[in-house]
Amino acid sequence: MTSFKHENVEDLYELLEKLGSGHFGEVKKCKEKSTGTYYAGKFIKTRKCKGSRLGLDRDQVEREVFILQQLEHPNIMRLHDVFASKAEMVLILELIRGGELFDFIAEKEALSEEDAIEFLEQILKGVAYMHTRSIAHFDLKPENIMLLQKDVPHPKIKIIDFGLAQKIEDGTVFKSLCGTPQYIAPEVINYEPLGPPTDMWSIGVITYILLSGLSPFQGETDQETLTNVVAGSYEFDDRIFKQTSELAKDFIRQLLLKDPRDRMTAVECLIHPWIKPLNRKQAVNRSRSSINMKNFKKFNARRKWKLSYNMVSACNRLCRMKLLCNPMKDEEELFYSGDLLRPTSPLTERSNKTRRQCESDQEDEKTKPVTLLRRRLSSCS
C-alpha cells in the first residue's frame, strides 16, 4: 500500500507539461527519475487551517488516496505514489494519454450501438468492481471517463477523479449534496441516503446522452434541471431516438428509476441483453442501431464550450477579486474561486453531512440552481 512520502516530489520526479486542472489544483505530466516512467501528478492545495475556505481539507485528500489504494482494476486509474507537504498533497497517478471518451467518439463519423457498448461495458466493469468493494464514485460524468490510449484498435476506458468517492460502510448512512445537476440522482437533491445506485443513475444519464446527444433532464436553468431530475421526467423523443434499439431504451429505463432500490446494479447491467445479447437477433439489432452522431457532436461541442466558459469566468472572477480584496494573502488569491463564494446552505449545517460543492452546467450567474447547492469548478482540457 502506498504511504505518504514527505520529501520534495521534484527530488524523485521531473515535472513536465500541464495535463489538466481541477478545482483544487493542477495535473501535470511527470517522469519518475529512477525508472524513466511517465505518470500524471495531481497537485492538490490543502487548507492551512480549519476555518479557511481555500484548498481541500487534508482528510478529504487522504480519503481519495485511501480509496484509490483499494482499487486495482484495468478500467480504474491507478495510484502509484503520494506526497504530502504542509501546503499541498501530490498524487502520482497512472498517466492517461487518450483524452476523454466523449471527445474520442465525437471525432467519429458514425458509431453503432455495438461499438458504444464496447466502451460502456468497460465503464460498467470498473464500476461493478468498485461497488463490490463498497466504494461509490459519486461523480460519474463524461469528464471523468477517459481513454488510456486512443490510437489503438480497442481503446481502454479509465475512470478518473475519485475526489468525491466514498466507502459506504455497512450500516452507515451517507448523505451529501454533490455532483453535477445533469448527472445527479434524485436522492442527492432530496438529501436522502446515497450509495452505489446513485452511480447507476449517472450511468443511465451518460448512456442516454451517448445514444442521443441529448441530456435527459437538462432544463433552461439548473433549477429546472434539478426539478426535472426530482420529477424523474424524461422521454425518448422518436425523432431523436429513431436509430436506437428497444433494448437500449430498456437498459436506460431500468437505470433512470427514482427509487434507488429499483435500479439495476452494475453487475445486472453487465448481463442485460443489450450488453450481453441472448441470441443472434439481439446481437444483430445492436450492430444495426446507431448513435445519433449529429446530435452527439453538437452536445459535445456545447459541453466543451461550457467547461471553457466556466474556467474563463472563474478566472475573471478571480481577477475581480484580486482588485477588490487587496488584503487577501497571495496564496488565498490564487485558489479563490468565485464558485466558493456562495452562501453555505442551511442544509450544510446539518449533522451527518459532508460539505460538498455542486458543479453547475449553467454559464449564467443568475441561474443559480438552488442556494443550497454550491458549484464545483470543473476542469477544462
Does 82 contact ligand ATP by CB under 6 A? no
Cβ(89)–Cβ(82) under 8 Å?
Answer: yes
- Kindly tell me which residue out of 9, 27, 30, 111 binds ligand ATP, with binding defined by CB under 6 A: 27
Give yes or no for residue 41 binding ligand ATP (CB under 6 A). no
The minimum distance between CB 102 and ligand ATP, in angstroms, equals 12
Asked whether residue 42 is marked as a ligand-binding residue, the answer is yes
The values of phi and psi at residue 214, to 5°, are -115, 145
Sheet with 4-5, strands from edge to edge, namely 4-5, 79-84, 88-94, 38-45, 25-32, 13-22
Query: Which grid coordinates belong to 138?
Result: 459519486
What DSSP designation does 134 have? T
What are the grid coordinates assigned to 224, written together?
Answer: 429546472
45-59: buried (b, 16+ CB within 10 Å) or exposed (e) per residue?
A: bbbeeeeeebbbeee
What single-letter amino acid sits at 76? I
Site for ligand ATP in 338-367 (CB under 6 A): none
Closest separation in Å from C-beta 60 to ligand ATP: 10
Residue whose C-alpha cell is 449564467:
364
Is residue 378 a contact residue for ligand ATP (CB under 6 A)?
A: yes
User: E strands of 328-373, at which residues?
Assistant: 353-354
CA 225 from chain centre, in angstroms, equals: 18
Residue 141 C-beta: closest distance to ligand ATP, Å: 9
| Closest CB to ligand ATP among residues 82, 93 | 93
Active-site residue, 59 included? no
The number of beta carbons lying within 10 Å of the beta carbon of residue 266 is: 21
Residue 40 interacts with ligand ATP (CB under 6 A): yes or no: yes
Nearer to ligand ATP, 284 or 301 (CB): 301
Asked if residue 22 binds ligand ATP (CB under 6 A), the reply is yes
Among 62, 94, 331, 333, binds ligand ATP (CB under 6 A): 94
Q: Residue 113 or residue 161: which is nearer to ligand ATP going by CB? A: 161
* Residue 128 sits in the site that holds ligand ATP (CB under 6 A): no
Tell the smallest beta-carbon distance from residue 111 to ligand ATP (Å): 22
Q: Which residues are annotated as a binding site for ATP?
A: 42
